[in-house]
Amino acid sequence: MLHHSRAGHVVGCPEMNRMVSLVSPAMLVVLAMSSRAEAPPPLAEGPSAAEQEFIARHWRRPIPPQGPPPARFSPIERSLQPEACGACHPVQFADWQGSIHARSMGPGIAGQLVDLVRTDPLSARSCATCHAPIAEQRPELLEGGRWIANPDFDSALQGRGVVCASCHVREHQRFGPPRRDGSTASRAPRASLPHNGLTRTTAFLRSEFCASCHQFAPDGLALAGKPLENTYEEWRGSPAARRGLQCQSCHMPDRRHLWRGIHDADMVRSGLDIVLRAARPRYRSGDIARATLTITTPRVGHAFPTYVTPAVLVRAELIDSDGRAVPGSLEERLIGRQVPLDLSREIADTRIPPGGRFRLDYARQLPASGLRLRVTVTVLPDEFYTRFFETMLSAGAGGGDDQIRLALEATRRSAYTLYEKELALS
């Protein structure tokens, strides 16, 4: 998040904050009460106590070092490199490599860390809890108030982001979901399998598995009464959750490791229904033309968009037969949770809540005949970061200057047109 480091600089991303302690007793009660009458696939009820316990243990921070591997492990079984896993799990590796999780130590964060590791190592380390979470990715450890070199540090892992081992390996043991048929028992003696087989648990199928990096704790930074990062809670109150859909159902369909989201136009389109309708089929010059744009999000499992970082821009204007805009006919709306760079307040929250809708009623007197109404919806997935990196560079980003420049360029390239339609009015 953007917070004031002890050195006085503004650093971070809006998501950075204290980690959730997922199993607060209050939440266990709420989750226990949230079992539902209808029981459709795949998982209708809240997580069991055993699943909660597994998730709390698996995601305790900081994640402890793996320790020594079992003596009988071959070099490839000992390795935590994604490529090593990929030798036997090529499909997941190929997916992961193209995903945002694999790029989560990109120039935007690395550029901030260059100076931060010296000026404010505690803040710098807090970034890693989500962006590069395993112990082997940390060059230094805090011991008794002093920073010491981390004996387990693996420089080849440091820049690799949320690696396979973050989610699947603890103390060199593999953990994963049940087989697709639901079974969990090992079919052969575990010691006879590569990496001694694995422990299979349904906790991998739960939204709670994702929450420690995608939800702030109740005592984390909140604006207007809502945590800055609130995806899990938004999901919990959503129609999707009532239907038993988890984060994985939409973001890992068929167990793919793509995690497509706001940066992927097809993914966003798959979640929305966008309808543009004129009130009447035909208008004449001088008439007041009326049209309505409606956006609903039946296949999104949280607010659209869920974070403060994207902005979605809706534009409606009249155009003539040459495609020129009619002056004064433009209507613009912003869908997003707007915050200033210092995160001091919420300017507005115009996101589409789960189950909700966005509606733009357009009405204009037509100055001529032959006009059409053009509606565009543009997504700027990194709108906040464009402003943030621009401000950082104008203040001087120090040793990270070059990387921040690259990151800024990337935020500008990520914008795309989600929807464009021209409606004949006469």
Binder of ligand HEC out of 306, 329, 386, 403 (CB under 6 A): 306
Nearer to ligand HEC, 108 or 366 (CB): 108
**Whole-number minimum distance, CB 331 to ligand HEC, in Å?**
23
Binding part of the chain for ligand HEC, among 25-33, 65-73, 85-93, 282-290 by CB under 6 A, reads 85-93
Binding part of the chain for ligand HEC, among 47-55, 157-165, 316-324, 358-366 by CB under 6 A, reads 157-165
Are 101 and 261 spatial neighbours (Cβ–Cβ below 8 Å)? no
Within residues 266-285, the interface with ligand HEC by CB under 6 A covers 267-268, 270-271
Nearer to ligand HEC, 197 or 367 (CB): 197
Within residues 15-34, the interface with ligand HEC by CB under 6 A covers 15-17
Q: Is residue 235 involved in binding ligand HEC (CB under 6 A)?
A: yes
Residue type at position 27: M
Q: Is residue 309 involved in binding ligand HEC (CB under 6 A)?
A: yes
Say how far apart CA 33 and CA 76 lie, in whole Å: 45
Nearer to ligand HEC, 366 or 407 (CB): 407
Identify the CA nearest to 315 among candidates 383, 375, 373. 375
Count the residues in the chain: 426
Identify the CA nearest to 368 among candidates 420, 316, 327. 327
**Whole-number minimum distance, CB 395 to ligand HEC, in Å?**
15
Nearer to ligand HEC, 369 or 414 (CB): 414
Q: Is residue 380 involved in binding ligand HEC (CB under 6 A)?
A: no
Binding part of the chain for ligand HEC, among 31-39, 296-304, 340-348, 395-403 by CB under 6 A, reads 296-304
Each residue 42-81 as x (binds ligand HEC by CB under 6 A) or -, in order, gives ----------------------------------xx--x-
Q: Is residue 313 involved in binding ligand HEC (CB under 6 A)?
A: no
Q: Is residue 176 involved in binding ligand HEC (CB under 6 A)?
A: yes
Q: CA 251 → CA 57, 290, 337, 382, distances in Å?
A: 23, 38, 22, 19
Distance of CA 83 to the CA centre of its chain: 24
Say how far apart CA 254 and CA 206 lie, in whole Å: 15
* Residues in CB range of 172: below 8 A, 6 or more apart: 66, 67, 68, 69, 70, 73, 78, 195
Q: Is residue 336 involved in binding ligand HEC (CB under 6 A)?
A: no
* Residues in CB range of 202: below 8 A, 6 or more apart: 43, 48, 51, 177, 178, 184
Q: CA 276 → CA 228, 286, 350, 424, distances in Å?
A: 32, 22, 19, 11
**Whole-number minimum distance, CB 150 to ligand HEC, in Å?**
18
Q: CA 173 → CA 36, 82, 102, 191, 195, distances in Å?
A: 34, 15, 21, 12, 7
Nearer to ligand HEC, 198 or 373 (CB): 198
**Whole-number minimum distance, CB 237 to ligand HEC, in Å?**
11
Are 259 and 167 spatial neighbours (Cβ–Cβ below 8 Å)? no
Within residues 209-228, the interface with ligand HEC by CB under 6 A covers 209-210, 212-214
Nearer to ligand HEC, 106 or 121 (CB): 106
Within residues 384-423, the interface with ligand HEC by CB under 6 A covers 385, 407
Q: CA 235 → CA 178, 207, 353, distances in Å?
A: 23, 9, 10
Q: Is residue 261 involved in binding ligand HEC (CB under 6 A)?
A: yes
Residue 293 has, within 13 A of its CA and on its CB side, a CA count of: 23
Q: Is residue 203 involved in binding ligand HEC (CB under 6 A)?
A: no
Are 55 and 203 spatial neighbours (Cβ–Cβ below 8 Å)? yes
Within residues 119-148, the interface with ligand HEC by CB under 6 A covers 123, 126-127, 129-131, 133
Say how far apart CA 239 and CA 301 lie, in whole Å: 8
Q: Is residue 232 involved in binding ligand HEC (CB under 6 A)?
A: yes
